[in-house]
Amino acid sequence: MKYVIATHNKGKLVEFQRLLEPMGIEAVTMDIAEPEETGKTFAENAFIKAEAACKKTGLPAVADDSGLCVDYLDGAPGIYSARFAEPGKRRLTVLEKLKGVPEEQRGAHFVSAVCCVFPNGDKIEAEGKCFGKIAFESRGENGFGYDSIFQQGDVTFGELTAEEKDARSHRGRAFAEFEKKLRAYLEGKA
């Protein structure tokens, strides 16, 4: 089965391929323009992206909208995580905004909303969350985005292997739910 992945984010693409391959899905990308994300929630934005990619390609399309929600910042950057600051300065911007904030007030969580839209108009949606806190400094070279400042226990997501991150991350949880729903959907179509 070939599904188009509605993202231009290379880090997300690698994770999508790693998570979808065990389901027998060949995750491909196509050079298509990303639609404007006008949704008010992660789920709405994931649907907007998946629907646009499905319509452009005629293939089932999978999209994710995800982001970091920091308690001290009233949930920001939230759905604006990819546009929170200039590329390359997003992590530093979060760290600067939390400068001097004590550990007990640095709570945060990641959200991932996954949506798959089929050419017949059917859709499957799933969401995953994971909770932690914002570290005092960026640590680790793995992952992408805010991974090196998001801490669970004593480690940041940037210090985890891909397998460790998948087991505990928002996207890993969303895809576990998505996999169950997709298998049930495909079995119903067989």
Catalytic residues: 65
Neighbours of 121 (CB within 10 A): 8
Helix 10-20 vs helix 170-189: crossing angle, to nearest 10:
50
Q: What does residue 18 show for φ and ψ, rounded to 5 degrees? A: -65, -35
Q: Write the Ramachandran bin of 188: left for phi over 0, alpha for psi from -120 to 50, otherwise beta.
A: alpha
In DSSP terms, which residues pair with 66 in a beta bridge?
112
| CB hemisphere CA count around 71 (13 angstroms) | 14
Q: Of 31, 32, 5, which Cα lies nearest the Cα of 175?
A: 5
Q: What residue type is 32 in one-letter code? A: I
